[in-house]
Structure 1
Amino acid sequence: MGRHSSMPDEYGAAAADPRPRSRGRAVAIATALVLVIAAGTALAVRSDLLDLGSSCEDDVEIDLVASPDIAPALRDAATQARREQITSDGGCLDVNVVARDAYKVADTLRAGKGHPDFQAWVPDSSIWLQRVTQNAKATEVTTAGNVASSPIGVGMVPSAAKSFGWPDKTYGWTQLTGATMREDQLRLGAADPARSATGLLALTKLATAAQKSGDKDGTQAAALAKVLSQRTSDSDSQLMDTVARDSSGTEEGNPRRNEALILSEQAAFTHNADVGDAGELDLFYPKDGSPALDYPLTLVDEPGLSTDESRAVVRFMTLLTAREGRSILEKHGFRTDGGASPEAVAAQAGGRTPQPYADPTSEPAADEQIEQTLGMWTITVQSARITTVVDASASMSNPVPGSGESRMEVTKASMLAALSTFTPEDEIGLWEFSTLLDGSRDYKKLVPTQRLGDRKGSGTVRDRLSAAFTGLQPVPGGATGLYDTTLAAYKEATSSYRGGKFNAVVVVTDGVNEDPGSVSRSSLLSQLAALSDAEHPVPLIAIAVGPDTDKDEIEQIAEATGGSGHQVTDPADIQKVILKAIIEAGAKSN
């Protein structure tokens, strides 16, 4: 009989949970109380509101959007609330739960357009709230607390798990995923980190673990990301459809099916309950700790909610964190604070001692780490389309202190080094600018933005670019035609936007605009803002070189497009700044 058959009806009958009480739960309770007070709902702590059996006078309707994995559990809780006539301020609590992918909801809320058709949201991770709040114009989201959690591990078909020594042998993240890079590759699947919290949190943990083991420049993490990308699914649900359907993992006739998946404990729990003995997964919990999904219950556009709606959302939170609510969540494979031992959930998910399932979670990754990982994924996996625009004014002949070379020579070397980091699939172009460089234009297009691996004549586009960078020279007497050039480059980049790629414009200058006949600064900023499109992002990355630049102006110009401005004193730092800026912009665009 399989593990799924031995689940008890009530997890409360299991042994006490040996884990320390989560700080997240304390924060959740405190936050919920603050929300109650802030919304004028102090009555929520009175016995008439907490009475689960009160009769009701009317319905208080709430539309709640939830991540597809937790939506069934929340529906069960909502059904129980209606069946038992649980009330909020005298009205029956009527919660309508709709499943929707968290990344889609986050994108909608981040855009801040229109009024949401729901009052509450339970994504699978707080990282989606971070994504929403990155945009100052986004719809307001307010967290009432976390309703559940689920650690992330690596599930394997029994044949693969046995070859890895499951359950007696334990591994770290880099050891487990590193197996995919050997000649006898383990077919490891993951969900797209740009669309899956599970994929992003696991990749962040991988990158952090690799760095601790000596991967200072990120090359090992990038290599792992590249391998993972070859077996990446668009969503968590699609990922579960890729697992091999027999215990051997080979599934004759379909060798592309995965032998292993990066997934949450709850996803493994549900899979094993659905497929029966033959298709169950065994679950590894990495010994260096697993990140966890944390399922925050969130009020959406709280200022726009009625008092009854705000109170009803908080009321549903009290139900979910009470004993009956925790029991419902645990029966669906989620962990809850104050609930039973995780042993029963882990067993159904494929965990066995001595796998460290009892307290497998690691410290949450910092927001900056998550953004860097997402940017790394973008630049590593998603090919780039970047137009580089380099200042060729006379001041670029000025020497760089201590180097014995001019600004232009050092800039060229740094740009060539940056070029070497891109793959043949990336599209890179080059413009130079000064004043009146090409007739009445301040700029000249040296190499069109094209795929580096394409052949042009006797060489490739990469060869042409290398030669063009090497041949850059300051224009004697040339001034800095920054505004017209920036606008022209951005217009072309937005009009030639390529879907599925990371599109950007990189402008390198060592001075302020010196063309009196150019467009004004205010006009430049307004036109750049009008050209930018959140649905087709083309961030402008502006790099100011040397002491003659205006850092504030550079930042204003870049930020008008959703990009970033940077100032360097040494042109040799341009390569590092470009890559850092691309990673940051990649994180924002996802």
Structure 2
Amino acid sequence: MGRHSLPDAYAAQDSGDAPPRRRRTVAIATMLVLAVAAGTAAAAQSGLLTFSEPCDDSAVRLTMAASPDIAPAARAVADQARENEVKSDGHCLYVEVVARDSYKVADSLARGDKDPDYEVWLPDSDLWLDRAKGNGDGVPVAPGDSVASSPVALATVPSASRTLGWPGKTYSWAELVATVMRSDEVRLGAADPSRSATGLLALASIGASSDRQGGDSDTRVAEAAKVLAQRMSDGDAHVLETLALDSSGAEAGNPRRNHAVLLSEQAAFAHNADSAGSGKLDLFYPKDGTPLLNYPYALINEPELTTTESRAALRFMTLLRNEDSRRVLAQRGFRTADGTAGTSVIASAGGRKPQPYDASAAAPPSPAALQETLGMWTITVQSARLTTVVDASGSMATLVPGRGQSRMDVTKASLIQALTQFTPNDEIGLWEFATTLDGAKDYRELMPTRRLGDPAKNGGSHREELAAAFAALQPVPNGATGLYDTTLAAYEESLATYVKGKFNALVILTDGSNQDPRSISRSGLIARLEELADPERPVPIIAIAVGPDADREEVAAMAEVTGGGGYQVSDPAEIQAVILQAIMTAGQGGQAAAE
């Protein structure tokens, strides 16, 4: 999109700025090049044309919805402009700045809520501009240039800083989070990535860093997401409230308090400005690059703005980017749009050498990468409803090479371990299957699919009851693999008991192919699953082929028609990791139920 032609005097004020990291241009309608009388154009464009009436009578009035962290700085610039009677096209410029959470504005615009009560938007990240687009039916948003920036880092209380080796020890994102998760002395918190650009950019950075490490990256990131979800704050305004006071404070030992939080440099700056001594935070800047909050300027519903309003909005953008405004922003802990900061900002925020606070910013994640991260987060932390269906055929008694345990024994241990990854709100049930298991049926329900936190009939919780049921699983002597009838019956039951607002799925573990000659055929099963699959009630099948005799192609064929997937593990001990990865993948594929 072409940049709108600014008046020469305004453009000159901004000519010294380095280009921002993610350069955007304002899409302004051609009505702004309306012909004006040649004798007055230059004066009007320079903002020098005056009128006899007072400013209040001739002012052009705008409202800006700004991210709460930058709203005070933007308000200070607006107030100074009003006091100095700064003009746009001869009209005094009056801008009212209101603090609005960026995610709330983005969601409102994406829904197409009519008649926004603001003409300008200043979110903390351009990822909200992408969200505001929605399906293209929302309120038009014309993006402009960034006016400031702030890197995302890890803030720690001093006791945690010492534990992690600050400032001399440096880490990548993946190393830093893994070290924190392994520590009994450091509890990590974050703002909800679905509501916080800081949280989402940090989680995307952790994922990218983990990918560079190789190995089972998806599972590591999902585990990190689970940990963060347990100590998650609703938004940026609340995450600092979760911090424990240092060792001298009364809250230091409170298990509900965090010692480290994912935070922007500017938020740490503001916190430290209001704190003293051990209440101040230290910042770790990961050595593989810190993403930037980049505060893009945008016009809202621009086709409905008058020429005077559009030009006044652009005038205010140039004011926010001039030298005086950069000083105002720096005084409140913001960097320039290209990520440059003075040492006083960094030191006040908690940065110190050799932490790489002046390294080049990390390349911004693509919208697709952010969407994938958000999908992973949503499904990893969303309450799940899973029915687990375990093969109890005689072949599950086969010993696993090098372990001295049967496939069933290792499978049970892996399932019990996987159970620890789920919250009390998750619902999990258990079926087993083998031919001749229950009369003419190849399957039997052992535990209903219920909340893990629900009380059990004989005391304890459903989680404890389910763990005991996993431990009691045994191979059925001479039992064969009755896979097809079991899959169909379990899928029909999962649809019938579907719970909206949860991630519903059917997890099937088998070490062989279907061996029941009386059952439905493979083609018949797939056709029936295709008929039953309901986009309004998505229940993906996650089918795991266990051991070398299992047929991955077979389980994949029946799983994929439901939006799920087929997996194979050579060692049943890998089941825990595969279940977590499969759930994440299904969530990224859009199978999570709508709230």
What residue in structure 1 maps to residue 250 of structure 2?
A: 252
Corresponding residue for 1:582? 587
Over 3 Å counting, the alpha-carbon distance change for 1:584 and 1:301 in structure 2 is farther
TM-superposed CA distance for 1:541, in Å, is: 5.7
Percent identity, aligned pairs only?
Answer: 41
Q: Distance in 2 between matches of 1:24 and 1:128?
A: 16
Indicate if the aligned counterparts of 1:343 and 1:358 stay in contact, CA closer than 8 A. Answer: no
Return the offset for 1:277.
4.1
Contact 1:36 1:314 in 2 (8 A): no
CA contact (8 A) 2:386 2:507 kept: no
Q: Given the superposition, is the C-alpha separation of residues 258 and 475 from structure 1 closer, same or farther in structure 2, using an over 3 Å criterion?
A: closer
- Which AA in structure 2 matches 1:497? K
Equivalent residue runs for 1:336-347 within 5 Å: 336-337=336-337, 341-347=341-347
Aligned partners of 1:453 and 1:461 also within 8 Å: no
Provide the secondary structure at the position in 2 that maps to 1:139: coil
Q: How does 1:342-491 map to 2 (within 5 A)?
A: 342-385=342-385, 423-425=421-423, 426-427=426-427, 449-451=449-451, 474=484
SS at 2:32 equivalent: coil
Q: What is the alpha-carbon distance in structure 2 between the residues aligned to residue 52 and residue 322 of structure 1?
A: 18
The alpha-carbon distance between structure 1 residues 174 and 512, as it changes in their structure 2 partners (threshold 3 A), is: closer
TM-fit CA distance, 1:424: 4.9
Once residues 460 and 584 of structure 1 are traced to their aligned partners in structure 2, the CA distance between those partners, rounded to angstroms, is: 32
The reply to whether residue 243 of structure 1 matches residue 240 of structure 2 is no
Unaligned residue ranges in structure 2 (runs of 5+): 1-15, 390-413, 432-444, 475-479, 509-523, 543-552, 570-577
Q: CA deviation at 1:199?
A: 1.2
Aligned to 2:332: 332
SS at 2:289 equivalent: coil
Q: 1:89 to 1:269 in 2, by over 3 A?
A: same
| Partners of 1:161 and 1:69 in 2: CA distance | 25
Distance between the aligned counterparts of 1:147 and 1:587, measured in 2? 37
Q: 1:491 to 1:120 in 2, by over 3 A?
A: farther
| Structure 1 residue aligned with 2:286 | 286
Aligned partner of 2:88: which letter? Answer: S
Give the structure 1 partner of residue 312 of structure 2: 312
Aligned to 1:497: 500
Deviation string 1:150-177 (CA, Å, 9 cap, x unpaired) is: 0011222334324444333322223322
Match of 1:40 among 32, 36, 39: 32
* Structure 2 CA distance for partners of 1:281 and 1:46, relative to 1, 3 Å: farther
Give the TM-score of the pair, scaled to structure 1. 0.68
Partner-residue secondary structure (3-state), 1:24: coil
Q: Which residue of 2 aligns with 1:24?
A: 21
Within-5 A mapping of 1:530-545? none
- Distance, in Å, in 2 between the alignment partners of 1:202 and 1:287 is 13
**Distance in structure 2 (CA, Å) of the matches to 1:185 and 1:67:** 33
Aligned equivalents of 1:219, 1:276: Cα separation in 2: 40
User: 2:204, 2:21 → 1: CA distance?
Assistant: 20
Whether the 8 Å CA contact 2:148–2:334 is kept in 1: the answer is yes
SS of 1:142's partner is strand
Amino acid at match of 1:49: Q
2: distance between equivalents of 1:463 and 1:46?
Answer: 83
Contact 1:155 1:268 in 2 (8 A): yes
Inter-partner Cα distance in structure 1 for 2:91 and 2:325? 20
SS at match of 2:270: helix
Question: Are the aligned partners of 1:67 and 1:124 in contact in 2 as well (CA < 8 Å)?
Answer: yes
Letter in 1 for 2:44: D
When residues 236 and 360 of structure 1 are mapped into structure 2, their CA distance, relative to the original with a 3 A threshold, is: farther
Q: Which letter maps to 2:240?
A: M
Written as runs of structure 1 = structure 2, the 5 A alignment for 1:185-334 is 185-245=185-245, 248-249=246-247, 251-256=249-254, 257-334=257-334
Judged with a 3 Å threshold, the aligned counterparts in structure 2 of structure 1 residues 48 and 215 are, in CA distance, closer, same or farther, namely: farther
Determine whether 1:146 maps to 2:141.
no
Is residue 154–residue 263 contact of structure 1 (8 Å, CA) maintained in 2? yes
* Aligned match for 1:49, one of 45, 49, 52: 45
TM-score, normalization by structure 2: 0.67
Q: Which amino acid aligns with 1:83?
A: E
Give matches, 1:505-544, under 5 Å: none
C-alpha change, 1:325 and 1:214, in structure 2 (3 Å) is same
Deviation at 1:311, TM superposition (A): 2.6
> Which deviations, in whole Å up to 9, do the C-alpha atoms of 1:365-403 show, x marking residues without a partner?
1223222222222233332136899xxxxxxxxxxxxxx
Q: What is the CA distance between 1:510 and its match in structure 2?
A: 6.1
1:208 Cα deviation (Å)? 1.5
Q: How has the CA–CA distance of structure 1 residues 316 and 294 changed in structure 2, closer, same or farther, with 3 Å as cutoff?
A: same
Structure 1 letter corresponding to 2:156: M
Mean CA deviation greater in 364-373 or 204-213: 364-373
RMSD: 4.8
1:335 is displaced (CA, Å) by 1.0
Unaligned runs of 5+ in 1: 1-16, 390-416, 432-444, 529-537, 555-564
Letter of the 1:156 counterpart: T
Equivalenced residue count is: 491
Aligned equivalents of 1:98, 1:114: Cα separation in 2: 18
**Inter-partner Cα distance in structure 2 for 1:323 and 1:53:** 23
**Residue 88 in 1 paired to residue 88 in 2?**
yes
Judge conservation of contact 2:281–2:349 (CA < 8 Å) in 1: yes
* Contact 2:379 2:503 (8 Å CA) reproduced: no
Q: Any idea what the Cα deviations from partners look like across 1:524-546, whole Å, max 9, x if unmatched?
A: 99xx5xxxxxxxxx667699x99
- C-alpha change, 1:475 and 1:580, in structure 2 (3 Å) is closer
Distance 1:388 1:273, change over 3 A: same
